[in-house]
Amino acid sequence: MNMCTDNLEKMDCNNKATYEICFSPTGGTKKISTFLINGLSGKSMNIDLSDGNMAFQDIFLSAEDIAVVAVPSYGGRVPAPAAERLSVIHGNGAKAIIVCVYGNRAYEDTLVELQDTVQKSGFIVVAAIAAVAEHSIAHQYAAGRPDSEDYAHLKEFVSRIKEKLSEGSCSMPVIPGNRPYRKAGRAGIVPKKTGSCTKCGICAMKCPVKAIDKANPAIVDKKLCISCMRCVSICPNNARKVNGLLLYIVSKMLKKVCSVRKECELYL
């Protein structure tokens, strides 16, 4: 078994700084990353990758630290803004548990891309998890997930990860996926404001890529929009919607591949 330190000392993860580094526009990924954090240490420093105003290049971890790095899978890939922001964080040998969350379709190359991204930033990947949460666009798929069965699996995963960390192991998990990665696609679904919009500006302020005009929320830069659905999920007036026909088409396309329940997976 490979060891994290030259002197082979035992490692107690509860005595180290723990970071929750998460990109979760609609909250599904955050549910899972927070559950994992609570199982590992119960407390952490939060780094919100969806915050477009944060100076990620100024974040430095140390070799004694542990990080849960969690992202959703967008078309089988890491969301581009998340990858870009992770790439400038200084891992400095921190141990990373990487997590991809998907809407019961497939996560394809998300985990291997996330592995490569954090390793280039100086993290050491010690575990990888694929987990399911409610689909961010077609909510009928994986509705109610993560559920009690998912949390039971994740709890067991945490125990195994803590055991590995306590042994001082930095053996690299074998993670499925392709290199080169599948071609990144775009959902092309841009939510629009409805008549209920009060121009409060929350959607523009919270947009991870600043695609929404602050003065006029009806104006959206379609080239910047990543179809993350944050604006839909956070609007206090329920005033942003996805075109009904587009939503119907997406739902029909996903029906076959999303109908069979997928389970959480651990790579250790």
pLDDT digits (tens, 9 = 90+) for 94-109: 999 999 999 999 999 9
User: Using CA atoms, how far apart are residues 35 and 42, in angstroms rounded to an integer?
Assistant: 9
- pTM for the complete prediction? 0.92
Q: What is the pLDDT of residue 229?
A: 96
Decide: helix, strand or coil at residue 211.
coil
Asked if residue 8 has pLDDT above 70, the reply is no
Mark out the alpha helices in 72-175 (DSSP H runs).
80-86, 110-120, 148-166
Q: What is the pLDDT of residue 246?
A: 87
Kindly report, residue by residue over 118-170, the tens digit of the pLDDT. 999 999 999 999 999 999 999 999 999 999 999 999 999 999 999 999 999 99
CA nearest neighbour of 130 among 155, 164, 171, 98: 98
How do beta strands 95-102 and 124-132 pair?
parallel
Asked if residue 13 has pLDDT above 50, the reply is no
Kindly report, residue by residue over 185-195, the tens digit of the pLDDT. 777 899 999 99
Domains of the chain, each with CATH number or no CATH: 13-180+263-267 (3.40.50.360), 192-241 (3.30.70.20)
Q: Supply 25's token pair.
A: 């526009």
- Using only C-alpha atoms, the chain has a radius of gyration, in whole angstroms, of 19
Angle between helices 148-166 and 28-40 (to 10 degrees): 40
Kindly report, residue by residue over 35-80, the tens digit of the pLDDT. 999 999 878 899 999 999 999 999 999 999 999 999 999 999 999 9
Contacts of 30 (CB under 8 A, 6+ apart): 22, 24, 70
Q: What is the pLDDT of residue 146?
A: 97
Neighbours of 13 (CB within 10 A): 18
Of all residues in the chain, the percent with pLDDT exceeding 70 is 94
